Amino acid sequence: MYMHVGNYEVISHQETPECSLRLLKLTQDKFVHQHHHHKTTQIYFVLEGTARATVAGKSAVLKPHQSLRIPRDALHDIRTEGEALVLSISIPPLDASDQHIATEHREG
C-alpha cells in the first residue's frame, strides 16, 4: 500500500516482491512534493513530456527516455510545466510507512 506525497495522478500501480512500479501523470498543478524514503531507492523514468526532478538540492530536467536515480534518504520531488508521464520504480516496493514529507527529514 502507498499514499500520495503530492497531488499527482497514479495511472497504474504494480508490485512485485522486488520492486513497485507506479505510472504517474504530472501536470502543472499536479506534482510530487518534496519527500524522502529511509528504506527505498527510487528511479524516475520519463516516458512522455519533460519533468524537472530535484534530488538533494540539485535539479535535473528529464526528457523522454531519461532517468534519474534517487538514493535512500535523499529529499526529492518532481514536477512539470506542461504534462508528463513518469514511471516511478521503487526498490524494494514502496511502503506507505516509508514516505516522509520534507519537514520530517533528518540527516544521518
Q: What is the CATH number of the domain that holds 22?
A: 2.60.120.10
Task: Give the bridge partners for 91, in sequence order.
Answer: 41
CA–CA distance, 19 with 63 (Å, rounded to integer): 23
Domain range spanning residue 62? 9-104
Cell of 6: 503530492
Question: Cis peptide leading into 92, omega within 30 of 0?
Answer: yes
Is residue 30 a part of any domain in this protein?
yes
Given the C-alpha cell 497504474, which residue does it identify? 12
Say whether pLDDT at 106 is over 60.
no
Element (H, E) at 84: strand 83-91
Number of domains in the chain: 1
- Convert the pLDDT of each residue in 25-83 to its tens digit: 999 988 999 999 999 999 999 999 999 999 999 999 999 999 999 999 999 999 999 99
Q: If DSSP states are collapsed to H, E and C, what string results for 1-16? A: CCCCCECCEEEEEEEC
